[in-house]
């Protein structure tokens, strides 16, 4: 059994780690490239959402590297993502690929399949090992989130450009090897020291720009499918915060809320003003995040969605009015295989220019010396 | 009060029920005319460009109603009418989209939650929470709804006799049930797709009538008993999450198994999410059952001649195949 996982953000290192710690063989995580996208687009249904296409491409690449079992999450709607597994299976079958699927659904939807899946993943390990492994991976994820959030606030002001990126790269490399609690804690200490040692250019609070990123989880977190939106924003001198982090996702979806006390609950409450019921995906949370960003000193929001995404199209429909109500600039970027880099770059640069004009006074009225 | 119902989305499935409900409560029901170029254009103007065309059409009809001087516009939040299945996210968020698109105080909406385990049901406790409907007691609402259900059941019974929704919409207002519809043409085609695409005069371009004019027996999902549809879904490890997507998909499978059906036409809207998955699955299955499968994708730009050409070619192909077999 050689496992493969979909790739979503740098935290995906964790799946590989989880598999190897449980003694499975796994294909190294594969960050999507243009080739991955091309393969996915070729075989996926034309109007399926972009993440489905990219993931199909990822799976095919993994199978070519010897994977025979694909592990992914399921769901029970109303967003299409919950059905990805079934469709991927059908498409891969029609392409004559011989591959197993392990799809984790909620225990309540299909208890038999869920137990089977857990058994498959558990292998010959004792439950004690499994729990220890899961906790170590969870710790690693939390550490990555913690450092990433810090770096996203420092990147625009680093004195030597590239310092923060170096720390982030280093962490990704080291975390794959941290197999115990102690190792993760040691890594935390080391990395924190490095973070504190970064030399920063002092910038007064009033002239800082803060941008929030909201949208569909896959295109928000995976830089290769959103044309490195985050990099672009950081490069334009903005602090960035995303609505989605892998550790937060685990807190909200996999751990009882009484223990994890996720921030997302509060966000969901704020979002209920706009969508009183969950309409699938993260539409309600995204509206909550937009309001949260507006109330917490952010200057603008970038909304990223896959082309034809069902829930995000609903939030996109109400964003113009909400943006007016909150006096918060919001820009939407639909992503698919057709998006062009130059187009997005122009739009994002213009957006930031407008925000600067709004915040620091109009460029047009200012006297040019 | 004049209550307006947009002739879009689930109007085509639930209108007899909704109309009777408001008539029983003592209101006048106003319906917009069939979709035309003007309605679709004004709808597109105020909608997100890439949203599916049925939603644009719905918005166009809402604007149309506003011009018709209605007091209230009925746009229920269809949440669920089946255990552990919901509607497409666009239906779940529709009232919110309306709230934020039509902010002008001249618009008054009736937007109750429809939550039930039965297709024709509605939770009266949810209905009464709507500001407009709260002027009635729960009993009044229940009685009015049940009167609506009677009409709707007759309408459904007519569909089961082999009539399309267009025909049933006229027939249900007459006394008694019509006879079983005769289907004695040489070829039979199943036209599957959501009611608001197949029967919308503008985007669907009366495809059922066109096919009938070409000498084809028409079969659609609403002509099937619920049990037949459920039987198809039972065999699946995991079904789709959306009530109507499941119906359409199950109807597709049912007609694949039906020896009398010669081909399937899937009518879908540009950018329809559920169909992007179920359509592909049916397409992949078409080889397995050896039945031709045609996808007609409609949007606001669709021209009429392309549809005519494609369905003519499709029916010709099926006829020749049949001749060759003889």
Average pLDDT of the residues in A175-196 = 93
Q: What is the CATH number of the domain that holds B78?
A: 3.40.50
- B97 within some domain: yes
Per-residue pLDDT for A366 more than 70? no
pLDDT of amino acid A364: 56
Q: Are residues B143 and B9 in the same domain?
A: yes
Contact B273 A334 (CB under 8 A): no
What is the per-residue pLDDT across B121-152, written as a single tens digit (0 to 9) for each?
Answer: 999 999 999 999 999 999 999 999 999 999 99
Mutation target among B89, B276, B277, B279 for the A interface, most CBs of A within 10 A? B89
Q: Are residues B277 and B151 in the same domain?
A: no
What ipTM score was computed for the predicted complex, to two decimals?
0.90
- B226 within some domain: yes
Rounded to whole angstroms, what are the CA distances from A321 to A122, A129, B104, B144?
A: 49, 51, 12, 36
Average pLDDT of the residues in A152-157 = 94
Contact A86 B50 (CB under 8 A): no
Average pLDDT of the residues in A150-160 = 94
Q: Decide: A352 and A240 in contact? Cβ < 8 Å.
A: no
- B176 within some domain: no
Contact A74 B238 (CB under 8 A): yes
Q: Which residues contact A161 (CB under 8 A, 6 or more apart)?
A: none
For chain A, say whether B235 makes contact (Cβ under 8 Å): no
Q: Decide: B63 and B46 in contact? Cβ < 8 Å.
A: yes
Q: Are residues B18 and B127 in the same domain?
A: yes
Per-residue pLDDT for A365 more than 60? no
Q: Are residues B96 and B216 in the same domain?
A: no
Quote the CA–CA distance of A72 and A226 in Å, as a whole number: 21
Instruction: Using CB atoms, pick whichever of B51, B270, B280 lies closest to residue A317.
Output: B51
Q: Are residues B212 and B243 in the same domain?
A: yes
Average pLDDT of the residues in A69-90 = 89
Contact B89 A311 (CB under 8 A): yes
Per-residue pLDDT for A177 more than 90? no
Q: Are residues B127 and B27 in the same domain?
A: yes
Quote the CA–CA distance of B100 and A329 in Å, as a whole number: 17
pLDDT of amino acid A170: 94
Contact B51 A274 (CB under 8 A): no
Domain stops at, among B99, B125, B159 = B159
Q: Are residues B80 and B31 in the same domain?
A: yes
Q: Are residues B40 and B189 in the same domain?
A: no
Average pLDDT of the residues in B277-281 = 91
Contact B86 A313 (CB under 8 A): no
Tokens encoding A334: 């639909």
Smallest CA–CA distance, residue B111 to chain A, in Å, is 13
- B71 within some domain: yes
Helix (H) or strand (E) holding B17: helix B11-24
Q: Are residues B200 and B249 in the same domain?
A: yes
Per-residue b/e over B42-61, b at no fewer than 16 CB within 10 Å?
bbbeebbebbbbbbbbbbbb
Contact B100 A317 (CB under 8 A): yes
Model pTM score: 0.92
Give the number of domains in chain B: 2
Transcribe B260-295 into DSSP letters.
T--EEEEEEETT-HHHHHHHHHHHHHHHHHT--EEE
Position A1 confidence tier, pLDDT thresholds 50, 70, 90:
confident
Per-residue pLDDT for A369 more than 70? no
Average pLDDT of the residues in B224-231 = 92
What is the per-residue pLDDT across B113-122, written as a single tens digit (0 to 9) for each?
Answer: 999 999 999 9
For chain B, say whether A62 makes contact (Cβ under 8 Å): no
Per-residue pLDDT for A368 more than 50? no
- Of B182, B238, B87, B26, nearest to A106 (Cα)? B238
Q: Are residues B8 and B61 in the same domain?
A: yes
pLDDT of amino acid A363: 57
The boundaries of the domain holding residue B78 are: 2-159
Q: B88: nearest CA in chain A?
A: A78
B88 three-state secondary structure: coil
For chain A, say whether B97 makes contact (Cβ under 8 Å): yes
Q: Are residues B128 and B219 in the same domain?
A: no
Position A113 confidence tier, pLDDT thresholds 50, 70, 90:
confident
- B271 within some domain: yes
Average pLDDT of the residues in A229-249 = 93
- B177 within some domain: no
Q: Which residues contact A317 (CB under 8 A, 6 or more apart)?
A: B47, B48, B51, B93, B97, B100, B101
Q: What is the CATH number of the domain that holds B268?
A: 3.40.50.11900
- Of chain B residues 66-95, which have a CB less than 8 A from chain A? 77, 79, 84-90, 92-93
Domain stops at, among B127, B159, B191 = B159
The per-residue pLDDT of chain B, averaged, comes to 93
Tokens encoding A132: 């220890």
What is the per-residue pLDDT across B194-216, written as a single tens digit (0 to 9) for each?
Answer: 999 999 999 999 999 999 999 99
Strand pairing partners for B77? B113
- Interface size, chain A vs chain B, as Cβ–Cβ contacts under 8 Å: 119
Q: Decide: B201 and B226 in contact? Cβ < 8 Å.
A: no
Quote the CA–CA distance of A165 and B17 in Å, as a whole number: 61
What is the per-residue pLDDT across A311-329, written as a single tens digit (0 to 9) for each?
Answer: 999 999 999 999 999 999 9
pLDDT of amino acid A362: 64
Domain stops at, among B159, B192, B218 = B159
For chain B, say whether A271 makes contact (Cβ under 8 Å): no
- B241 within some domain: yes
Sign of the Cα torsion A148, A61, A36, A74 reads: negative
A105-114, A331-340, B249-258: which has the highest mean pLDDT?
A: B249-258
Q: Decide: B118 and B81 in contact? Cβ < 8 Å.
A: yes
- B278 within some domain: yes
For chain A, say whether B96 makes contact (Cβ under 8 Å): yes
Smallest CA–CA distance, residue B300 to chain A, in Å, is 16
pLDDT of amino acid B266: 96
Residues of B in Cβ contact (< 8 Å) with A90? 280-281, 284
Quote the CA–CA distance of B86 and A311 in Å, as a whole number: 13
Q: Are residues B142 and B234 in the same domain?
A: no
Q: Which residue has the higher pLDDT, A162 or A367?
A: A162
């Amino acid at each position: 059994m050689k496992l493969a996982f979909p790739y979503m953000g740098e935290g995906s290192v964790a799946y590989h780690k989880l598999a190897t710690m449980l003694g499975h063989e796994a294909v190294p995580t594969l960050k999507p490239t243009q080739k991955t996208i091309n393969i996915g687009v070729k075989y996926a249904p034309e109007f399926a959402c972009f993440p489905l296409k990219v993931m199909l491409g990822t799976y095919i690449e993994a199978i070519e590297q010897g994977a025979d079992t694909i592990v992914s999450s399921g769901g029970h709607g109303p967003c299409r993502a919950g059905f990805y597994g079934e469709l991927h299976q059908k498409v891969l079958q029609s392409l004559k690929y011989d591959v197993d699927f392990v799809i984790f659904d909620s225990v309540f939807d299909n208890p038999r399949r869920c137990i089977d899946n857990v058994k498959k993943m558990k292998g010959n390990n004792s439950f004690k090992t499994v729990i220890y492994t899961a906790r170590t991976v969870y710790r690693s994820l939390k550490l990555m989130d913690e450092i990433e959030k810090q770096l996203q606030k420092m990147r625009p002001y680093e004195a030597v450009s590239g310092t923060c990126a170096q720390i982030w790269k280093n962490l990704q490399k080291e975390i794959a090897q941290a197999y115990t609690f102690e190792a993760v804690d040691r890594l935390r200490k080391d990395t924190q020291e490095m973070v504190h040692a970064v030399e920063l250019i002092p910038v007064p609070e009033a002239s800082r720009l803060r941008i929030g990123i909201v949208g569909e989880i896959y295109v928000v977190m995976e830089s290769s499918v959103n044309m490195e939106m985050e990099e672009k924003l950081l490069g334009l001198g903005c602090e960035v915060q995303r609505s989605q982090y892998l550790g937060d996702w685990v807190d909200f979806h996999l751990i009882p809320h009484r223990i994890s006390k996720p921030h997302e609950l509060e966000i969901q409450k704020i979002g209920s003003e706009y969508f009183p019921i969950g309409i699938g995906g993260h539409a309600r949370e995204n509206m909550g995040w937009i309001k949260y960003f507006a109330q917490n000193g952010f200057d603008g929001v970038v909304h990223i969605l896959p082309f034809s995404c069902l829930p995000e199209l609903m939030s996109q429909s109400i964003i113009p009015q909400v943006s007016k109500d909150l006096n918060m600039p919001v820009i939407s970027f639909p992503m698919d295989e057709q998006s062009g880099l130059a187009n997005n770059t122009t739009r994002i640069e213009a957006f930031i220019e407008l925000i600067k004009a709004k915040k620091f006074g109009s460029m047009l009225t200012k006297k040019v010396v | 009060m004049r209550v307006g119902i947009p002739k879009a989305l689930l109007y085509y499935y639930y209108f007899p029920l909704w109309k009777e409900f408001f008539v029983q409560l003592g209101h006048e029901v106003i319906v917009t005319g069939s979709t035309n170029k003007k309605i679709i254009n004004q709808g597109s103007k105020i909608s997100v460009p890439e949203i599916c065309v049925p939603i644009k059409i719905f918005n166009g009809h809402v604007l149309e109603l506003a011009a018709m001087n209605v007091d209230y516009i009925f746009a229920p939040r269809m949440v669920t009418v089946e255990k552990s299945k919901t509607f497409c996210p666009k239906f779940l968020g529709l009232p919110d989209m309306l709230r934020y698109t039509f902010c002008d105080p001249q618009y008054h909406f009736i937007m109750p939650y429809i939550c039930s385990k039965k297709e024709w049901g509605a939770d009266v406790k949810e209905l009464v929470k709507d500001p407009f409907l709260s002027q009635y007691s729960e009993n009044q609402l229940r009685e009015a709804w049940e009167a609506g259900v009677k009409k709707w059941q007759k309408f459904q019974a007519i569909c089961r006799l082999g009539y399309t929704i267009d025909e049933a919409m006229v027939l249900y207002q007459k006394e008694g049930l019509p006879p079983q519809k005769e289907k004695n043409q040489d070829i039979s085609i199943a036209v599957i797709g959501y009611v608001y695409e197949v029967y919308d005069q503008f985007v669907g371009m009366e495809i059922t009538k066109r096919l009938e004019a070409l000498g084809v027996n028409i079969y659609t999902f609403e002509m099937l008993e619920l049990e037949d549809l459920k039987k198809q879904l039972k065999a699946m490890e995991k079904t789709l999450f959306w009530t109507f997507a499941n119906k359409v998909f199950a109807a597709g499978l049912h007609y694949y198994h039906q020896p009398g059906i010669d081909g399937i036409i899937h009518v879908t809207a540009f950018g329809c999410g559920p169909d992007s998955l179920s359509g592909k699955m049916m397409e992949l299955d078409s080889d397995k059952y050896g039945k031709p499968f045609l996808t007609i994708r409609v949007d606001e730009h669709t021209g009429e001649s392309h549809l005519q050409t494609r369905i003519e070619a499709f029916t010709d192909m099926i006829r020749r195949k049949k001749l060759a077999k003889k």
